[in-house]
A and B are shown apart, each in its own frame.
Chain A
Amino acid sequence: MSILEISNLSLSFGGVKALQDVSFRVPENTITTIIGPNGAGKTSLFNCISGFYKPQQGNIRYQGQPLPGSIKPPRRAALGLARTFQNIALFRGMTVLDNIKLGAHVHMKSGLLSALAYFGPARREETAVRQEVEERIIDFLEIDHIRRQPVASLPYGLQKRVELARALAMKPQVLMLDEPVAGMNREEKEDMARFILDIREEWGITVLMVEHDMGMVMDISDHIAVLNFGQVITEGVPADVQNNPEVIKAYLGNSDIDSLRRKLNPEGEVA
């Protein structure tokens, strides 16, 4: 069954139509990827799902329940929708550890008074979160050596990983990753791909991803939706999408088909 169902979504800014009648489904416990050229509306779609943009039309169903515009981003986070950002959105003034702990925010309850005293519930809760973050996330993502460092001082690849860690701390049902490997070197990409696969396998989390790196997309996705000019042009398993002429056209217009095949086909890249 689908954990996330997008139907007939339309969004426009002034005269610009960012999304037109977009519909697709994210099957539960899959890695679903949205691809499409720049400006196709991928990030706008993410923003609609996380509640930043209010679509003018259409609706989103999450775990079978509608997600109307009245449900604001914080509430959506609490419901289990986590995401990372295209251009890293970590809190630069904080350490890695604090950034990750922030992810656990919605699952914590302690109030202001006990926080002021740092006694009783607040203390227990903070210690518990720390333990969980350490044992489940920091170890898993292999970032224990940098936990005390301010994120601003970290290299790009590690920052992306910290952002992933923060999203995991939200204990999401659906993890939305906006270009998780952009700007990484091959080794970092491979690490990230492995983490994403593990997240689906071991944690049982549905992953919804926007990514340009076709090698990785074709490698790890279970399901792909292709977006162009704000419209879904096709949807399906990687192999189908790869050979869909619509997709090929959308990507490169009418230019060199071979280079395009190479780009869409991971094997081609290896060859």
Chain B
Amino acid sequence: MDWLFFGEISLAGLAMGGLYALIALGFVIIYKATRVINFAIGEIMMFAAYLFLAFAGGMELSPWIALPLAVIGGSILGGVIEKTMIRPMLGESPISVVMVTIGIGSILVGLVEFIWTADPQLLPSFLPREPVFIGPLYLAPKIAYGFLIGSALLIIYLLYFRFSRGGVALRATASDQAAAYSMGINVRRVFNMAWVFGSLAASLAGVLVAATGGLSPQFGIIGLSVLVVVIVGGLDSILGALVAGVFIGWLETVAGAYLGGEYRMPATFLVLAVILVIRPYGLFGTHEIERV
């Protein structure tokens, strides 16, 4: 076995996994606070990436201005979606809410095709292009820098939720909505905030992923990989999102490299299936007690 090769593949996979972790974090924030499984997360990522394209490519802004603009745009989109389409579903069955998010995904794909056509696109390259070596291991520069930017946001998030007032409100709402409400926390605002923050993380990851892999209206399919991540990690576990994100990213890449690209999805979904059977609430998720 070629350990150097394995090391390089693993490194590439772990770096990709870092981005998965970031998206999964966005997903988990939304789920924890609002109990909504957001099937549209891939499309929100896509939308932000197209915004970046519009700002950096169409309007020829500097990518470093376009990036925050696109990310802000994506998080506003998340907030708007919550307000207009998720909030009316408050109290409906989770299945209906999930289907609303599927519908939202479809609308976003249509909007993107409407505005930018279905043509494949490349994002203006904005990350350094010099190869990165970690010891003897080569890492593609886009992936390396993408990982760094993603991790930075991830750390900011973790600190924010730990120490800020908003973070406390979010965690309180996540653990007990009614109690949070009675403590004077504005639960509706927390819901909206969760969507904004969740979409923000997804948007940044969206731009970074699109920067390495290109962009088209089918981009949202990446949401499937994220779904695997959050189920494996546990829908309501931030730690789970991080661990599973990195693991699934690694597994996908290693399976693709050693078995072939057609094995990427089946490999991760196999892990998903196993987890569903042996630990249905994920590696780190909480098992909820059913009340009669």
Chain A residues in the interface with B (C-beta under 8 A): 13, 43, 47, 52, 85
Contact = CB atoms under 8 A, between A and B. Distances in A.
Contacts of B292: 43, 47, 52, 85
Interface string B270-292: 00000000000000000001001
Interface in B100-119: none
Nearest to B290: A52
A13 B290 CA distance: 12
5 contacts: A13-B289, A43-B292, A47-B292, A52-B292, A85-B292
Contacts of A13: 289
Contacts of A47: 292
Nearest to A53: B292
Contacts, number: 5
Contacts of A43: 292
Interface in B236-277: none
B272 to A, nearest CB: 28
Nearest to A13: B289
Contacts of B289: 13
Nearest to A178: B292
B94 to A, nearest CB: 17
A85 B292 CA distance: 9
A183 to B, nearest CB: 19
A13 B289 CA distance: 10
A50 B292 CA distance: 11
A47 B290 CA distance: 12
A202 to B, nearest CB: 30
Nearest to B289: A13
Interface in B49-101: none
A47 B289 CA distance: 14
A96 to B, nearest CB: 23
A9 B11 CA distance: 56
B100 to A, nearest CB: 20
Contacts of A85: 292
A47 B292 CA distance: 8
Q: Which 5 A-B pairs have the closest CB atoms?
A: A52-B292, A47-B292, A13-B289, A85-B292, A43-B292
A43 B292 CA distance: 9
A175 B292 CA distance: 18
A223 to B, nearest CB: 25
A241 to B, nearest CB: 27
A43 B291 CA distance: 11
Nearest to A44: B292
Contacts of A52: 292
B6 to A, nearest CB: 44
A179 to B, nearest CB: 14
A98 to B, nearest CB: 20
Nearest to A50: B292
B291 to A, nearest CB: 10
B104 to A, nearest CB: 26
Nearest to A87: B292
Nearest to A14: B289
A13 B292 CA distance: 14
A119 B292 CA distance: 37
A13 B291 CA distance: 12
B286 to A, nearest CB: 12
A64 B194 CA distance: 56
A66 B289 CA distance: 26
B95 to A, nearest CB: 14
B262 to A, nearest CB: 37
A176 to B, nearest CB: 12
B93 to A, nearest CB: 12
A77 B292 CA distance: 16
